[in-house]
Amino acid sequence: MSQVSTTDYSASSVPTDTYRSFTEGAATIDRLDVGRLRLAGKDAVDLLNRLSTNELMDLEIGNGLVTILTTNKGRIIDMLQVYRLEDELLVNTSVCAAGKVAEWIDYYTIMEDVQVEDITSRTTMVSIAGSKAEDALYDSNLPIPKLQSFISTTWRDTFLTISRTDFLGIPSYDIVAPAGSVDELWRTMELETADHEIVETVRIQNRVPIYGKELTEDYNPHDAGLIDYVSFSKGCYIGQEVITRLNTYDKVKKQLVVLTWSENTDVTEATRLMFEGKQVGVVTSAATWPGSYDSIGLGYVQRSLLGTVTRLETESGSPVEINTFA
């Protein structure tokens, strides 16, 4: 949802033309993976601030931030991209988690004036991503918001909200509009539609975790490398005691890392990673590296090994490298 780290693409193996057009030009991504909630009511900011890890009370109208919804054990429910409007919040979730997030917020709405509405089906969202994404907006006479801010505008009488989130770790602008209203805009922009596999590869290269794979209740924000989205000074929120204790006493046991392996090996998502006969990690995402015979993935690995061990094995002995470029 936001930039976690940056990749030196020169370190990559020979990318394909499609890959280059995405990473060195601009392409559209249909964001069917995003759920959209509207939180109305005068207590919306205060409530979400009490339920999630980042500091929302300082969030100014027109700006956004990433915050994490965690359980009282500090485990991840979902990562949220939040925007503050004048009298409401717009909250992007994973589309698979939208219902769960809405229920979670609704459960904790007791005395507060907060109404949660799922607006996913009423709206459409497309990202313009790549190093030339800004040029693509400029060429279409669309305004260009700064990182973690949004601009509301109209395009041929259609209301649009444009925000910049860099959700893949590369420049990315998210455009939200009423469902079915902006097909002509995408045609006018004449951009290539990014292939899902390419999007997945860039996400993995930049160590961006997603719901259901890296973001589950098995992991906490420390494990997932999301500590930039945790405020250690805001006071209590659900899960705060555990997350702060892990930080204070340096008790984080796992870390999300980029992994590579030869394409013809038996590695898939959920493959267990071994070191000296013991399980020390698990693969959470896997994709083919464009233009090469290698595969790339994400996985959680025992933190104490990092820095000293660079090669792990699957249970059948296939090598998996811990990649340090990301």
Partner 1 sequence: MTTTATSENKPLTINISEEAASHVETFAEQAGKPGAYLRVGVKGGGCSGLTYILDLVDEPKEDDKVIEEHGLKLFVDRKSYVFLAGTILEYSGGLNGKGFVFNNPNAKTTCGCGTSFGV
Nearer to partner 1, 199 or 238 (CB): 238
Q: At what angle do helices 98-107 and 44-51 cross, to 10 degrees?
A: 100
What is d(CA 26, CA 21) in angstroms, rounded to the nearest whole number? 6
Nearer to partner 1, 123 or 244 (CB): 244
Q: Which of 66, 189, 242, 283 binds partner 1 (CB under 8 A)?
A: 242
Among 7, 109, 161, 205, contact with partner 1 (rule: CB under 8 A)? 109
Stretch that binds partner 1, among 102-110, 131-139, 175-183, 288-296 (CB under 8 A): 102-110
Q: Using the rule CB under 8 A, is 192 a contact of partner 1?
A: no
- CA 78 distance to own-chain centroid: 10
186 interacts with partner 1 by CB under 8 A: no
Q: Read off φ and ψ for residue 208, nearest 5 degrees.
A: -95, 115
The residue type of 254 is K
Report the candidate in 310, 318, 99, 66 with the shortest Cα–Cα distance to residue 209: 66
Interface with partner 1 (CB under 8 A), residue total: 18
Region near partner 1 per CB under 8 A, out of 22-30, 46-54, 264-272, 316-324: 46-54
Q: Which residue has the tokens 């805009």?
A: 185
**Rule CB under 8 A: is residue 107 a binding residue for partner 1?**
yes
Q: Which residues pair with 159 in a beta bridge?
A: 154
Q: Indicate which single residue of 10, 110, 157, 250 sits in contact with partner 1 (rule: CB under 8 A).
A: 110
Using CB under 8 A as the binding rule, whether residue 221 contacts partner 1 is answered as no
Among 108, 123, 231, 309, binds partner 1 (CB under 8 A): 108
Provide, rounded to whole angstroms, the least separation between the CB of residue 251 and partner 1.
Answer: 15
Buried b (16+ CB within 10 A) or exposed e, 263-300: eebebeeebebbeeeeebbebbbbbebbebebbbbbbb
User: Residue written as tokens 């998502």?
Assistant: 269
Do 307 and 256 touch, CB atoms closer than 8 A? no
Binding partner 1 by CB under 8 A: which of 1, 51, 76, 136?
51
Please say whether the beta carbons of 198 and 151 come within 8 A: no
How far is Cα 53 from Cα 27, in angstroms, rounded to an integer? Answer: 32
237 near partner 1 (CB under 8 A): yes
Closest to partner 1 by CB, 237 or 300? 237
What are the phi and psi torsion angles at 63 (to 5°)?
-110, 165
Segment near partner 1 (CB under 8 A); pick from 23-31, 44-52, 135-143, 307-315: 44-52
Q: Does residue 36 belong to the site contacting partner 1 (CB under 8 A)?
A: no
Q: Does 234 bind partner 1 (CB under 8 A)?
A: no
Residue 121 and residue 214: Cα distance in Å, rounded?
25
Does 220 bind partner 1 (CB under 8 A)? Our answer is no
Strands 27-30, 192-193: pairing is: parallel
Q: What is the rounded distance in angstroms from the CA atom of residue 204 to the CA atom of residue 233?
A: 31
Q: Does 249 bind partner 1 (CB under 8 A)?
A: no
Tokens of 7: 């990749």
Indicate the residue among 156 and 245 with the shorter CB distance to partner 1.
Answer: 245
Which residues inside 69-88 make contact with partner 1, applying CB under 8 A? Answer: 72
- Contact region with partner 1 (CB under 8 A), list: 7-15, 78-86, 110-118, 278-286: 110-118
238: contact with partner 1 by CB under 8 A: yes
Q: Does residue number 231 form part of the binding site for partner 1 (CB under 8 A)?
A: no
Residues that bind partner 1 (CB under 8 A): 47, 49-51, 72, 107-112, 236-242
